Structure 1
Amino acid sequence: MSSARQGGAAPKLRNGVIRRGNSWSYVIRVTDSAGVSKPRWVGGFPTEAAAKRARDEARIAAGRGEFVDRSTVTVGEYLDRWLMAHALEVKPRTRAGYEHIINTYVAPRIGRIRLQALRPADLSTLYRQLMESGGRGGKPLSARSVEYVHAVLRKAFADAVRNDQILTTNPAERAKRPRKEQAVAVVMWTADDLASFLATTMGHRLHGYFRLAAYTGARRGELMNLRWADVHLGDEHGQGAFVRLRGTVSVIGGVRVEGSTKGGRERTVSIDAGTAAVLAEHRQRQEAERALAGALWVGGDHVFRRELGEPLFPDTPTALMAKLQRQHNTAAVEAGTPPLPVIRLHDLRHLHATLLLKAGVPVHVVAARLGHADPAITLRVYAHVLDDQASGAATTFEHLINSTPTKPSSDAQGDRG
């Protein structure tokens, strides 16, 4: 009796699909870079239907020259490799953000799934779970945070398609994402509110920081990185004064890290004579602190420092902003005057842009001061301000025409012929 009869009928290949033991496999022909057509076997599918589905996808990919070999790498393993390889080109703070997202929200839930078996529905389920209980203590995670998780995965899996060629399509592109939260209206100070707050900060050694933040729209980290070598106080009247913003500061794992500005571009921002005078006073105060500290003084050229000269951490002005607002509002209540709406430190940047745009300063000028790579960014972020201006454009035009002296008619001027 033949060996084939002893072991039963040999499995048959049907339209590129065959059963091998407890799993199914498929085979297709793939043309390599030399133009030679070779069979490619891919196995390990639990059902015939799964093997056929993968076969059909592989045939389409092969026809496009996009076929990828079967891989056992998991989602977690790939994302670890991606962090080391593709994320090295980003800033340390950005990489730390990616790592936190992956290790906190992704790897514990879908890290063991084989990457090539990951489906859009798996990601949709992940997002729903995060929305329901992905936060601290099992609380819901905000839609904004879930959207960031999606953005990181979309970027990582795009690299898996383009660079690593381990996926044929990006599953994140077809995953259903949670609805975006409607933006909450930001309470904004008026120019008088800002002047009132800065009058309170004048009693603090970091008054210069808040003045410069409000009068330049610079980011928190940019001012933490500012050196005196990049501060030009102008002539004796403060004319021609400016600051040059070359880098930024962030905190990664409790360590103060300096790097390039957002977008990697330096910029020069003009400052007014009053702000130049405030910075000159700040420098004098710093010199007095240096003399008092003596040998304990920490060297360096940072504009904003602690009493012994150490450069400030970004969290310092953030906490101080809240403290000074409470101080201001307590005094206001005692004096019987309205307290200020509570805003964030970063809102000083928005206030700077808003007041300039309302005053009619061109968008491209405001964009340059803020460090936006394209004025279109400024237009998008501050569209509500520009809409308010546009609503009065018709009335403004009418005033311009009505205020123009009427020229004599042609009859009054006589025949020009």
Structure 2
Amino acid sequence: MGKRRNNSEGTITKREDGRWEARVSLPDGKRKCYYGKSKEEVQKKLKQAIRDVDSGLPPPNDKETVEQYLTAWLATVKHQVKTSSFHCYDNSIRIHVVPSLGKHHLSKLTPQHVQQFYTQKLESGLSSTTVRQIHLILHRALKDAQRMGMIQRNVTEMVRPPRTRKVEMKTLDERQAALFVEAANGERLEALFVLAITTGMRQGELLGLRWQDVDIDKGILHVRQALYISRGIIYLTEPKTKNSRRTIHLTKVAIYALRKYRIQYLQEAMAFGPDWNTKYNLMFPTSTGNPIRAAHLVSLAFHRILKNAGLPTIRFHDLRHTAATLMLEKGVNPKMVSEMLGHSDISITLGIYGHVTPRMQQMAIDVLDNMFG
């Protein structure tokens, strides 16, 4: 039989099955047991348990699984983050983390488990950006568990997430932008595409626009919400950042497109009749008045416009980059461009569109040459 010690220091014994067992008394009178193949292994566990008791930390729950903890964590964090962020958390955990790591006991999750999980996801074709996003979510969840004393360490801090591959920004030049607007003429959502390339608004912001947000006569538009659809549920959320709530002055081509579209919108609503969905009063709904799923109608029409105009394939978000790049190349103050895009800080604008800076510098030199030449 192994050596026994004072209960306040814990006890270590050798079991009949050959394994070693350590026990420590908890402040509530209960006793916690730890097992190992060697005496040294249980001594290490016992010392850590005694340190935790002395510091007031509860012992790890050896029975709680990663899935059980993350389910409870999601219910808590739901009220702490934006709706769009929560659905990103929920999807990442439900689709990726739980199927791979959910059955592991939370207290026994190792860095090797997590590193192998990341590798499997990359090998299955998931992008490095998505895997890194999963890493950040899992890190936050385990950080909360560690803070509450549920685990002794955050194993995500001991692994290397994949580096994010920077998505190449593709923009249209001035001539191509004009071809895009021309090719959009006649499309049902022509006004949406014209707004996208002339204001730099995000897709969710465009789809979340209501008629009350636009004053066509004054030529101004107010960004107040964004449309987000997840698992069939429609959400109208606050824009991405505080500065994303903004007022934008419209170009003549945008005003013309909106006037034309307003007539079309009213005709569609009248033709569809009383079943037209008036709940959201969106500017850019489907032909039945319902919110548009961005991945469907917008994407289909967008790629059709690019093809008809003979333009290279770009993402819808690249229309935002195009608007910003064209404004900066034409000498628009970067601060004004930043405000128009809804960036939280001008440094973000300059960081994203640093490729324009050399051309802006040359424009400044040309101005000085004209002054002193």
TM-score bracket, normalised by the shorter chain, equals: 0.7 to 0.9
- Is residue 2:323 matched to residue 1:361? no
Aligned equivalents of 1:131, 1:309: Cα separation in 2: 40
Structure 2's unaligned 5+ residue stretches are none
Aligned equivalents of 1:295, 1:398: Cα separation in 2: 61
- Is residue 2:13 matched to residue 1:19? yes
1:209 to 181, 185, 192: 192
2:372 to 396, 404, 409: 404
Shift of residue 399 of structure 1? 6.0
Q: Partner of 2:118 in structure 1?
A: 127
Aligned equivalents of 1:313, 1:205: Cα separation in 2: 15
Shift of residue 173 of structure 1? 1.5
Q: Aligned pair in 2 of structure 1 residues 307, 167: CA closer, same or farther (>3 Å)? A: same
Structure 1's unaligned 5+ residue stretches are 1-8, 31-37, 236-240, 330-339, 406-417
Q: Partner of 1:310 in structure 2?
A: 290
Number of matched pairs = 363
1:107 to 98, 102, 106: 98
Aligned equivalents of 1:203, 1:279: Cα separation in 2: 13
2:320 to 349, 368, 384: 349
Q: Partner of 1:333 in structure 2?
A: none
Post-superposition CA distance 1:42-99 (Å, at most 9, x none): 4233233333333444566567x46332212121111111111123333344323222
Q: Aligned pair in 2 of structure 1 residues 387, 66: CA closer, same or farther (>3 Å)? A: farther
- Is residue 2:230 matched to residue 1:249? no
Post-superposition CA distance 1:240-291 (Å, at most 9, x none): x211111111121123332222236522112123322221121122223334
Q: Partner of 1:328 in structure 2?
A: 309
Aligned equivalents of 2:47, 2:162: Cα separation in 1: 31
**What TM-score does the superposition give when structure 2 sets the normalisation length?**
0.86
- Is residue 2:182 matched to residue 1:185? no
Q: Aligned pair in 2 of structure 1 residues 118, 295: CA closer, same or farther (>3 Å)? A: closer
**Secondary structure in 1 aligned to 2:78?**
helix
When structure 1 is superposed on structure 2, of 245-254 and 46-55 the one drifting more is 46-55
Q: Aligned pair in 2 of structure 1 residues 87, 127: CA closer, same or farther (>3 Å)? A: same
When structure 1 is superposed on structure 2, of 262-271 and 202-211 the one drifting more is 262-271
- Is residue 2:33 matched to residue 1:43? yes
Shift of residue 165 of structure 1? 2.9
Moved over 6 A (4+): none
RMSD over aligned CA atoms reads 2.9
Aligned equivalents of 2:49, 2:102: Cα separation in 1: 24
Task: Name the amino acid aligned to 1:246.
Answer: R
Q: Aligned pair in 2 of structure 1 residues 279, 66: CA closer, same or farther (>3 Å)? A: farther
Q: Partner of 1:334 in structure 2?
A: none
**Is the Cα–Cα contact under 8 Å of residues 34 and 45 in structure 2 kept in the other structure?**
no
Shift of residue 208 of structure 1? 0.6
**Secondary structure in 2 aligned to 1:160?**
helix
Q: Partner of 1:3 in structure 2?
A: none
Q: Partner of 2:182 in structure 1?
A: 199
Q: Partner of 1:332 in structure 2?
A: none
**Secondary structure in 2 aligned to 1:88?**
coil
Instruction: Give % identity.
Output: 27
- Is residue 2:126 matched to residue 1:144? no
**Is the Cα–Cα contact under 8 Å of residues 150 and 172 in structure 1 kept in the other structure?**
yes
**Is the Cα–Cα contact under 8 Å of residues 11 and 19 in structure 1 kept in the other structure?**
yes
Post-superposition CA distance 1:95-147 (Å, at most 9, x none): 23222222332222222222122232321222122223xx3xxxx33222221
Shift of residue 166 of structure 1? 1.2
Larger Rg: 1
Higher relative contact order (CA 8 A, sep 6+): 2
Aligned equivalents of 2:40, 2:340: Cα separation in 1: 59
Task: Name the amino acid aligned to 1:302.
Answer: L
- Is residue 2:76 matched to residue 1:82? no
Q: Partner of 1:95 in structure 2?
A: 86
**What TM-score does the superposition give when structure 1 sets the normalisation length?**
0.77
Task: Name the amino acid aligned to 2:240.
Answer: K
Aligned equivalents of 1:43, 1:386: Cα separation in 2: 64
